Amino acid sequence: MSHSAAALYKKATQDAKDHLIQPWPSAGSIGAEARGVLGQGEGIYVHDDRGRKLIDGPAGMWCTNVGHRNAVLADTLREQAMELSYNSPWYTSNEPSAELARRIGAHAPGDLNHVFFTTGGSTAVESALRLAQYYNNVRGLEGKKKFICRDGGYHGSTYLSASLNGSQRSRNWMDFADDMMIRLSCPDPFRRPKGMSLEAFRDQLVKEFADAVAAHGADTIAAFIGEPIMASGGVIVPPEGYFKAIREICTENDILFIADEVVTAFGRLGHVFASEACFDVVPDIITFAKGVTSGYFPLGGMAVSDRLLSTLRNSNHPEAMYAHGLTYSSHPIGCAVALKNLDILEGGLLDHTREITPYFHDKLKRLEELDLVGEVRGMGLMACIECVADRESQNPIRLDTEVGVRIDRHCQELGLLLRPLVHMCVMSPPLVITREQIDTMADILHEGISRTMRDLR
């Protein structure tokens, strides 16, 4: 690393420590944390303040799908800023957002032909929840207000979206709109009761859903919201047929089905949207963000069904306002970047992702030969390594061993960034990853986990 780069990193580290409040800090270090600084990115790699070149294993936060330093996206940012850097969405629209809405509508399943743009995933989810309640108010069903969500889910950091979240650790010290939420079990096949078949487990989850609807009354429930694959919860792929059965119950009970595809959309599972392509379900609303611009611009949104919109248009309250909007809704720069990002996905990256997915899982699955690894699971270019203290009983590793953090630390020394989650490590590399790079990633993981096992002896 050059002297000037080292000096810049040092200054950035100090400035961050003195002035920057990082996301998800703890009270003891809020506003005074040194988390390390990243410098230049290139494809699947990032350089850090210690002069290391690291594989960006989690694609930032599930988002750098086309990889770092993509010249087409970088040029587009500049070109659109020079053309029209902003317009007020209150009064006008712009070309990139209109075209992007049309193209997203064409990719979305069923009749989800209309798109509302936001600034990211939390605001997309918040918009969907508020639309669901507003939809019922306009229909004269003011009692239909609650949302069904699940343990292990993650949907954002705004008040309502965060109230859906299922991680106990993040619920301890914050306030939530809990009276609005109906929380069900996590559909985690790895943690199903011992000896239970996957089909029986699915049926149990579906029964729990139906029972909750009956107990609370369909006339109190606005929507179910779920990630097709729980990402931050540990890449949890529910048992086959689970979503289809839930979709049916929702339809029968006039409950909206919201698929939170903030992670799974825009290529992560090899498709623009995963709900129908991977789970055979057509939602009423799909939320998206992250991969829509591959992280080059903060953009998100929701695709909404024609059915829902035409119900609103034909309601008895044409004057009722959906009083919800953002200064940066339909941002022209974000939408222009998203259009080029979509070109890249359509132009071969979706095919590449589908083609390379079996290789990715085959390589990672081999980590199950290590005693610490209870399961390697995933779908598309999403994977999770779940560690266990004891394979027979599948006991999660004791939290005080910080096993995810240990594996992450070793892997960083070896050239790989991970996302550690207590006793799990999550991987979702940029979609441009090659077979050789997957080999390197798997080798590093093997060594990083082996070193962790030695630490714990």
Instruction: Find the shortest distance in angstroms from Cβ 92 to ligand PLP.
Output: 26
Q: Applying CB under 6 A, which part among 82-90, 255-263, 265-273, 360-368 lies near ligand PLP?
A: 255-263
Residues facing 118 on adjacent strands: 300
Q: Which is nearer to ligand PLP, 187 or 448 (CB)?
A: 187
**Could you count the other beta carbons within 10 Å of the beta carbon of residue 129?**
29
Cα distance between residue 129 and residue 122, in whole Å = 11
Do 349 and 341 touch, CB atoms closer than 8 A? no
Site map 25..64 versus ligand PLP, x via CB under 6 A: ------------------------------------x---
Q: Which is nearer to ligand PLP, 138 or 292 (CB)?
A: 292
Query: From the list 58, 89, 120, 380, which residue makes contact with ligand PLP (rule: CB under 6 A)?
Result: 120
Cα–Cα distance list, 355 to 90, 206, 350, 430, 434 (Å): 43, 33, 9, 14, 11
Query: From the list 121, 187, 238, 429, which residue makes contact with ligand PLP (rule: CB under 6 A)?
Result: 121
DSSP assignment of 63-103 equals: T-TT-BS-HHHHHHHHHHHHH-S---TTT---HHHHHHHHH
Closest chain position to ligand PLP (CB) = 121
Q: Applying CB under 6 A, which part among 92-100, 259-267, 313-321, 356-364 lies near ligand PLP?
A: 259-267
Tell me if 260 contacts ligand PLP by CB under 6 A: yes
Pairing relationship of beta strands 256-260 and 416-417 according to DSSP bridges: unpaired
Cα distance between residue 425 and residue 417, in whole Å = 10
Cα–Cα distance list, 229 to 56, 212, 236, 265, 388 (Å): 21, 22, 5, 11, 21
Site size toward ligand PLP (CB under 6 A) is 17
Pairing relationship of beta strands 424-427 and 395-396 according to DSSP bridges: unpaired
Q: Which is nearer to ligand PLP, 157 or 329 (CB)?
A: 157
Query: From the list 227, 284, 375, 408, which residue makes contact with ligand PLP (rule: CB under 6 A)?
Result: 227
Residue 294's Cβ-side half-sphere holds a number of Cα atoms within 13 Å equal to 30
Tell me if 154 contacts ligand PLP by CB under 6 A: yes
Q: Which is nearer to ligand PLP, 289 or 350 (CB)?
A: 289
Site for ligand PLP in 299-328 (CB under 6 A): 300
Tell me if 291 contacts ligand PLP by CB under 6 A: no
Q: Which residue has the tokens 């306030």?
A: 175
Tell me if 122 contacts ligand PLP by CB under 6 A: yes
Cα distance between residue 33 and residue 28, in whole Å = 10
Residue 325's Cβ-side half-sphere holds a number of Cα atoms within 13 Å equal to 11
Query: From the list 289, 303, 337, 426, which residue makes contact with ligand PLP (rule: CB under 6 A)?
Result: 289
Q: Applying CB under 6 A, which part among 92-100, 129-137, 150-158, 171-179 lies near ligand PLP?
A: 150-158
Instruction: Find the shortest distance in angstroms from Cβ 205 to ligand PLP.
Output: 19
Site for ligand PLP in 230-249 (CB under 6 A): 231-232
Residues interacting with ligand PLP, by CB under 6 A?
61, 120-122, 125, 154-157, 227, 231-232, 260, 262-263, 289, 300
